[in-house]
Chains A and B, each alone.
Chain A
Amino acid sequence: MNLFQIISEIEKVDPEFTDRLTHRRSALSLLGDLGKKMALAAAPVAIGSAFNKVVAQNNLSTVNDVLNYALLLERLEYSFYNQALSAATLSANLTGAARTAVETIRAHELAHVNLLTAALGSAAAPAPANGFNFGTAFATYASFLTFAQAFEDTGVRAYKGQATKIPRTLNPTVGGNTVNLLTVALQIHSVEARHAAHIRYMRRGATAGGQTTIMPWIINSDANGAPAAVYGAGNPAADFPAEGNLVQAGVTLTTGLGTTYTADEVSAAFDEPLDNTTVTAIARSAATF
Chain B
Amino acid sequence: MTSRNQTPAPAEAGLGSQLQKPVDRRLFLRYTGLTAAAAGLFLAGCDDDENNNTTTVSLGSGDVGVLNYAYALEQLEAAFYAQVIANPSFATAFTSADERAALTAIAKHEAIHRDFFKAAITAAAPTQIIGGLTPNFSTVNFASRDSVLQTAKTFEDLGVAAYNGAGQLIQNPTYLTIAGKIVSVEARHAAYIRDLLSNGSFADSTTVDANGLDKAMTVAQVLSAAQPFITERVNGDNVGK
Contacts and interface: CB of A to CB of B under 8 A. Distances in A.
Given A108-B203, A186-B164, A197-B202, A269 B177 contact: no
Given A163-B176, A269-B109, A188 B212 contact: yes
A256 interface: yes
A187 B214 contact: yes
A217 B167 contact: no
A267 to B, nearest CB: 10
Candidate in A104, A186, A196 with the most chain B CB atoms within 10 angstroms? A186
Given A112-B212, A188-B212, A257-B112, A273 B180 contact: yes
B140 interface: no
A152 to B, nearest CB: 10
A111 interface: yes
A183 interface: yes
B39 interface: no
B218 to A, nearest CB: 11
Contacts of B170: 168
A56 interface: no
Contact of A248 (B116, B214, B216): B116
A148 interface: no
Nearest to B205: A104
A83 to B, nearest CB: 19
B188 A193 contact: yes
A112 B191 CA distance: 19
Contact of A186 (B173, B189, B216): B216
A75 interface: no
Interface in A256-275: 256-259, 261-262, 264-266, 268-273
A192 B195 CA distance: 15
A187 B203 CA distance: 12
B213 interface: yes
A31 interface: no
A203 interface: no
B208 A186 contact: no
B112 A253 contact: yes
Contacts of A168: 167-171, 176
A159 to B, nearest CB: 8
A48 B80 CA distance: 39
B200 A270 contact: no
Contact of A249 (B120, B203, B208): B120
Contact of B116 (A109, A197, A257): A257
A201 interface: yes
A184 interface: yes
Given A194-B188, A198-B191, A272-B181, A187 B213 contact: yes
Contacts of B212: 107-112, 115, 188, 191
B211 A190 contact: no
A160 B177 contact: yes
A133 interface: no
Given A183-B164, A184-B213, A265-B105, A271 B185 contact: yes
A114 B199 CA distance: 27
Contact of B164 (A111, A156, A190): A190
7 contacts: A112-B212, A187-B216, A191-B203, A216-B102, A257-B112, A264-B105, A269-B182
Given A183-B168, A194-B203, A268-B185, 14 more contacts: A164-B177, A168-B176, A169-B168, A180-B168, A187-B213, A187-B214, A193-B185, A194-B187, A249-B178, A256-B119, A257-B112, A257-B118, A265-B109, A269-B185
Interface of B: 102, 105, 108-109, 111-113, 115-116, 118-120, 123, 160, 163-165, 167-171, 173-174, 176-178, 180-192, 195, 199-200, 202-204, 208, 210-216
A-B pairs, 7 with minimum CB distance? A111-B212, A193-B187, A197-B191, A187-B213, A193-B184, A194-B191, A257-B115
